[in-house]
Amino acid sequence: MRILALDSSGLVASVAVVEEEQTIAEYTVNYKKTHSQTLLPMLDEIVKMTEMNLGEIDAIAVAGGPGSFTGLRIGSATAKGLGLALKKPLIHIPTVDGLAYNLYGNEGVICPIMDARRNQVYTGIYRFREEFVVEEPQMAIEISALAEKLNERGEQVTFLGDGVPVYKEQLEQLLHVPVRFAPSHMNRQRAAAVGTLAVQYWKEGKIERAEDHQPDYLRMSQAERERLEREEKEQQGK
C-alpha cells in the first residue's frame, strides 16, 4: 500500500509518500510563501527523487481542515485534481487529528492548537492507549474554555501546533495541570503523519471519491462573517 499525503492546512506546506511500514519521502517547508507556490513543486521534486510513477499510489490523503481557508482550498483542489486525473480515492484526515498523530505513543493528553484568531483555537483532545484515541473531536473554542476543559481532566497535557507561540503564556497561567510543549521537530503539521494515519483509515474503509471531497472549515471565514454582519445591519435599518 502506498499513499500520497498532502497538508497545506496551516503555515506549513508538506507532501509525503508513505507505505505501511515506512515513509518513502517527505518534503516540508515552513516559510513565508503561499502554498500555491510550493505544494506542486514539492510533489514534483519527490516524484523525481524517488523515480515514482504516481499511477502506482493507492490513494491520496489530504488534511481536510480546519485551518487556513486559503490553504485548505489549495490542498483540497490539489488532492481532488490528482484524484480525478489518476482515478484514485481520497482519504480525508481531520487536520487536528493528523497533527496529534505526530506524538504517537505520548503519555497523557495530547492537545494540538492552531491559532484561529479572536482568542480562539482549532483543537481536539487525544491520547494513545493501545491505539490512537480521539477523546474530543476537533473544534473551534476560546482558549480559556479549552483550559477549563483540561483542568477538569486533571492530567498532564502536551501541546503542539502554531497556536503555541501565540497562547503559551496564557495557557501556563490558566492551567493547573502539568504542561509540556512538543519539540520543534514534532510541533507542526507533517504530511508523513497524515499519510500514516491514512493507512489506518484505508484499512477501515474510510475513503471517498475525489469529486465528493470538501474541506471542513468548522466556522465561517472572516469575509462571510462580515457579509452576515452587514446584512443584519441592513435588515435592522429597514
In a domain? residue 230: no
Written as nine digits, the cell of 121 is 483555537
CA distance readout (Å), 79 to 11, 13, 60, 200? 18, 13, 7, 19
Mean pLDDT per 10-residue interval, the chain, length 238 residues: 96 96 96 89 97 96 95 96 97 98 94 95 95 95 97 97 97 97 96 97 97 87 50 60
**Tens digit of pLDDT for each residue in 100-131?**
999 999 999 999 999 999 899 999 999 998 89
pTM: 0.90
Average pLDDT value for the chain: 92
Measured distance CA(9)–CA(223) in Å, rounded: 18
In a domain? residue 232: no
| pLDDT of the residue at 228 | 47
Asked if residue 10 and residue 87 are part of one domain, the reply reads: yes
What distance lies between CA 198 and its chain's CA centroid?
A: 12
In a domain? residue 72: yes
Question: What range does the domain containing 163 cover?
Answer: 96-181
